[in-house]
Chains A and B, each alone.
Chain A
Amino acid sequence: MSTRVMVAMSGGVDSSVAAAILRNQGYDVVGIAMRLAPDSDPAIPARRSTCCSHDDFEDARRVAEKLDFPFYVIDLRAEFARRVIGNFVSEYLNGRTPNPCVRCNLEIKFDRLWERARAIEADFVATGHYARILRDDEDIFRLARAHDLTKDQSYFLFTLRQAELARTLFPLGSMTKLQVRDYARRLGLRNADKAESQEICFVRDNDYARFIANQAASAAGCGGNIIDESGRILGTHRGIHHFTVGQRRGIGLAASEAWYVREIRAGTAEVVVTRRDGLASRGLIANDVRFVAPHGPGDSPLRVEAKIRYRHPALEATLTMIAPDRAEVRFASHGPAVSPGQACVFYRQDEVLGGGFIERAL
């Protein structure tokens, strides 16, 4: 009997090709699509199961039929709502900028999905992420950036530790997006040229503020003042969930020179703005810090490259553990705006050493 792999399939080209590659390598592939996002717009009348008749799942199903492996849809909406959406909403209402994809990988894809995989005696879970898992001479698993740096998704995967890496496969880690699309085209997959999904899967039209207002009644009453760093009131706002640190557009202040959000104070509902040069930070404090390797860095400071947002280049920094799961990260030179709530991931060249969640800027 060949090795069984449960492949998480979204219907997109990446996870479809991941499944196809494993199938062609002789694995016993079982495709799984996860229902995660809540039922969309209750305003859509009478069609009870709109969300449910998901075209994307049909694309995944076609791939499974074409390559002749079993495919199932599982319902993780309740888990997702509790563990990912709940966190997303409460983070925003606390003035932070969460990263739900990291949360989803941590709490759903490499946690709940693994339980489902064990239930069908799968040895591995595979996804279409662009990242690489390497195994060194001492049988320690290492997580590394994808070869295609423009697609690299290792940032979202820093929470994976030895146990998870040992049972995870990323078949696309050494491929470029072009190669993936080529592979899909050669197989005649219908979704070969499907557009990338960039937005957060459960937020319609990328409108976070509306989503949060719909989810939490308390969001309605959290308007407050927009102030500068000296405390001077420059204007008012309709709720802190409309803001994220570093934001320039949509602040609602008339000015000849642009204002940027520097800080969000949830307690007083104040949004602190600054001019561009006021955004710079010297570093950050990260909490819930974890390392890929079995042992952390210990007490001595560690030179790392820190990535503080998915689309930011990594910054030279020195990492010092200040508690078992808290770290101080000092940038070698002034860094850009730091958004509390986002993940800070530590790299050494291509390798992901670990990461944590940004508590505050320094």
Chain B
Amino acid sequence: MPIYLDHNAGAPIRPAVRAALAAIADCEGNPASVHRSGQRARRALEQARMQVARLIEADPRTIIFTSGGTESNNLAIFGATAAAHGRRKVISSPIEHSSILEPLTILEGRGFEIVKVPVDGYGRVDSRAILEAIDSSTALVTLGLANSEVGTIQELAPLAASIRSAGALLHIDAAQAAGRIPIAVDVLGCDLMTLSGHKLGAPPGSGALFVRSAVRLAPQMAGGPQENGYRAGTPNLPGAVGFGAAAEVALADLADESPRICNLAERLMRGLSESIPGLPRNGPLRDRIANTLNLTFPGVLGESMLIALDLEGIEVSMGSACAAGSVEPSHVLIAMGRDPQVARSSLRISLGWSTTAAEIDRAIEIIPRVWRRVAAAEGIAGVEATP
């Protein structure tokens, strides 16, 4: 069995999710139907909505099920800007997920002013620059809570009051943060929040958008009145049920899992640093989702490492995969001021619920060995081949 250390790309399906899915496998109803099958489906859907709402301490009526984080981000950005009459400015950062950056590019083409505030070398957005950019023309501030590639957690709560008093909306992409740190929408003061099911251990294809009740959002999918009229179409019941089950377990386990994952990640970091001299970590030490390690392996191409590690049964990632399956250097590291060469040498290792101490110990043994071999193959001076 490979050692799966790519939870930020998608977590393996949790046993509790399998059980929940099995329990509704023969549920043939449409939640919108009047008959009893429909009612049963509706109960399952609303149960899932409650489970997801609890994860972020929200009212279930504010949860809209979507097809995933990408749809949630699209709905938030296009929906909020379409309903923000006359306001033509959106504030964000350069380290966001492509499902935020690409909608912003489209908005820019439609004449919106897009402000991407800079981030520092640890991937922290410049909150002063955000406050300076907010004005009466601002429709939306859209930022990730925890960065998917380096794990940096942003301090967003202090921004909420200024955003609100300017009449703008705050959208938080919590796809990577949910289930890993405690989240409460009222503490954060956000108007919109993106969640992703499969980062939590549900099957891909399920996500949600929290929409605070007073917020106006133009639907991006026209059709039936499902999901409070925000998202037409028969909901993906298995997706929602899986998401609900994953959210419930993640929340229940958070207090125990969080220190466990943190310890495993630090053990991995220590183990790797002992055998790989000068192994810089990208991202902050504190205020980081503890499961995420982004490391620059000296003298090797991340692409070569990725392949060599996969053949040794260790699954990690680098930047984002393109359609053909080759990898591009991380735009997050570039925005953090890293040299493209450094970005090309960096890998993301992300732990999660399935990660065991035995796996981490094997990773500590395998990764340095593979690094030495790849570095020697790529002709880096001072590195000897595998002993």
Residues of A within 8 A of B (CB): 30, 33, 35, 49, 51-54, 57, 61, 70, 72-75, 115-121
12 contacts between A and B (CB under 8 A): A30-B311, A53-B322, A53-B324, A57-B324, A70-B310, A73-B326, A74-B307, A74-B326, A75-B327, A118-B376, A119-B300, A119-B373
**Would you call B377 an interface residue if the criterion is a C-beta within 8 Å of the partner chain's C-beta atoms?**
yes
Residue pair A121, B373 in contact (C-beta under 8 Å): yes
Residue pair A52, B324 in contact (C-beta under 8 Å): yes
Report, nearest first, the 7 A-B pairs whose CB atoms are least far apart: A118-B377, A53-B323, A119-B377, A52-B322, A73-B326, A73-B325, A119-B374
Residue pair B322, A115 in contact (C-beta under 8 Å): no
Residue pair B304, A116 in contact (C-beta under 8 Å): yes
Question: How far apart are the CA atoms of A120 and B304 in the complex, in Å?
Answer: 8
Residue pair A115, B325 in contact (C-beta under 8 Å): no
**Would you call B303 an interface residue if the criterion is a C-beta within 8 Å of the partner chain's C-beta atoms?**
yes
Which chain B residues lie closer than 8 Å to A33 at the CB level? 324
Which chain B residues lie closer than 8 Å to A119 at the CB level? 300, 304, 307-308, 373-374, 377-378
CB distance from B202 to the nearest CB of A (A): 26
**Would you call B379 an interface residue if the criterion is a C-beta within 8 Å of the partner chain's C-beta atoms?**
yes
Instruction: Enumerate B327-353 residues with CB–CB distance to A below 8 Å.
Output: 327-328
Question: How far apart are the CA atoms of A70 and B386 in the complex, in Å?
Answer: 22
Identity of the chain B residue whose Cβ is nearest the Cβ of A53 in the assembled complex: B323
Residue pair B308, A75 in contact (C-beta under 8 Å): no
Partner of A72, one of B322, B325, B374: B325
CB distance from B105 to the nearest CB of A (A): 9
Q: A30-B311, A119-B377 are in contact. Are A75 and B303 (CB under 8 A)?
A: yes
Question: Apart from A72-B325, A119-B307, A119-B308, what 13 extra A-B contacts exist at CB < 8 Å?
Answer: A30-B311, A35-B326, A49-B322, A49-B324, A52-B324, A53-B322, A70-B310, A74-B304, A74-B326, A75-B328, A116-B377, A119-B378, A120-B311
Question: How far apart are the CA atoms of A270 and B188 in the complex, in Å?
Answer: 72
Question: How far apart are the CA atoms of A121 and B373 in the complex, in Å?
Answer: 8
Which chain A residues lie closer than 8 Å to B322 at the CB level? 49, 52-53
Interface centre among B304, B308, B324, B376 (most CB of A within 10 A): B324
Which chain B residues lie closer than 8 Å to A70 at the CB level? 310-311
Which chain A residues lie closer than 8 Å to B374 at the CB level? 119
Size range of the chain B interface in the assembly: 20 to 34
CB distance from B383 to the nearest CB of A (A): 12
Partner of A115, one of B311, B323, B328, B377: B377
Residue pair B324, A120 in contact (C-beta under 8 Å): no
Question: How far apart are the CA atoms of A75 and B329 in the complex, in Å?
Answer: 11
Residue pair B303, A74 in contact (C-beta under 8 Å): yes
Partner of A120, one of B300, B308, B325, B326: B308
Residue pair B326, A75 in contact (C-beta under 8 Å): yes
CB distance from A113 to the nearest CB of B (A): 11
Residue pair B307, A52 in contact (C-beta under 8 Å): no
Question: How far apart are the CA atoms of A282 and B299 in the complex, in Å?
Answer: 51
Which chain B residues lie closer than 8 Å to A73 at the CB level? 324-326
Question: How far apart are the CA atoms of A130 and B304 in the complex, in Å?
Answer: 28
Question: How far apart are the CA atoms of A150 and B374 in the complex, in Å?
Answer: 39
Question: How far apart are the CA atoms of A119 and B312 in the complex, in Å?
Answer: 12
Identity of the chain A residue whose Cβ is nearest the Cβ of B304 in the assembled complex: A119
Question: How far apart are the CA atoms of A258 and B308 in the complex, in Å?
Answer: 58
Question: How far apart are the CA atoms of A24 and B126 in the complex, in Å?
Answer: 57
Which chain A residues lie closer than 8 Å to B303 at the CB level? 74-75
Identity of the chain A residue whose Cβ is nearest the Cβ of B98 in the assembled complex: A48
CB distance from B350 to the nearest CB of A (A): 20
Q: A70-B311, A74-B307, A120-B307 are in contact. Are A54 and B377 (CB under 8 A)?
A: no
Residue pair A115, B378 in contact (C-beta under 8 Å): yes
Q: A119-B308, A120-B308 are in contact. Are A57 and B377 (CB under 8 A)?
A: no
Which chain B residues lie closer than 8 Å to A54 at the CB level? 323-324
Identity of the chain B residue whose Cβ is nearest the Cβ of A56 in the assembled complex: B324
Question: How far apart are the CA atoms of A51 and B328 in the complex, in Å?
Answer: 13
Question: How far apart are the CA atoms of A214 and B373 in the complex, in Å?
Answer: 40
Which chain A residues lie closer than 8 Å to B386 at the CB level? 121
Question: How far apart are the CA atoms of A49 and B378 in the complex, in Å?
Answer: 28
CB distance from B79 to the nearest CB of A (A): 21
Question: How far apart are the CA atoms of A134 and B341 in the complex, in Å?
Answer: 40
CB distance from A64 to the nearest CB of B (A): 11
Q: A30-B311, A70-B310, A120-B308 are in contact. Are A115 and B324 (CB under 8 A)?
A: no
Question: How far apart are the CA atoms of A117 and B304 in the complex, in Å?
Answer: 9
Q: A30-B311, A119-B373 are in contact. Are A52 and B378 (CB under 8 A)?
A: no
Question: How far apart are the CA atoms of A120 and B371 in the complex, in Å?
Answer: 10
Which chain B residues lie closer than 8 Å to A115 at the CB level? 377-379
CB distance from B140 to the nearest CB of A (A): 22
Which chain B residues lie closer than 8 Å to A30 at the CB level? 307, 311
Which chain B residues lie closer than 8 Å to A53 at the CB level? 322-324
Instruction: Enumerate B129-172 residues with CB–CB distance to A below 8 Å.
Output: none
Identity of the chain B residue whose Cβ is nearest the Cβ of A118 in the assembled complex: B377
Question: How far apart are the CA atoms of A53 and B303 in the complex, in Å?
Answer: 18
Identity of the chain B residue whose Cβ is nearest the Cβ of A70 in the assembled complex: B311
Which chain A residues lie closer than 8 Å to B310 at the CB level? 70, 72
Question: How far apart are the CA atoms of A54 and B326 in the complex, in Å?
Answer: 11
Question: How far apart are the CA atoms of A41 and B328 in the complex, in Å?
Answer: 19
CB distance from B324 to the nearest CB of A (A): 5
Question: How far apart are the CA atoms of A70 and B374 in the complex, in Å?
Answer: 18
CB distance from B307 to the nearest CB of A (A): 5
Question: How far apart are the CA atoms of A54 and B386 in the complex, in Å?
Answer: 35
Instruction: Enumerate B71-116 residues with CB–CB distance to A below 8 Å.
Output: none
Residue pair B325, A61 in contact (C-beta under 8 Å): yes
Residue pair A35, B311 in contact (C-beta under 8 Å): no
Which chain B residues lie closer than 8 Å to A57 at the CB level? 324-325
Question: How far apart are the CA atoms of A53 and B325 in the complex, in Å?
Answer: 8
Which chain A residues lie closer than 8 Å to B326 at the CB level? 35, 52, 73-75
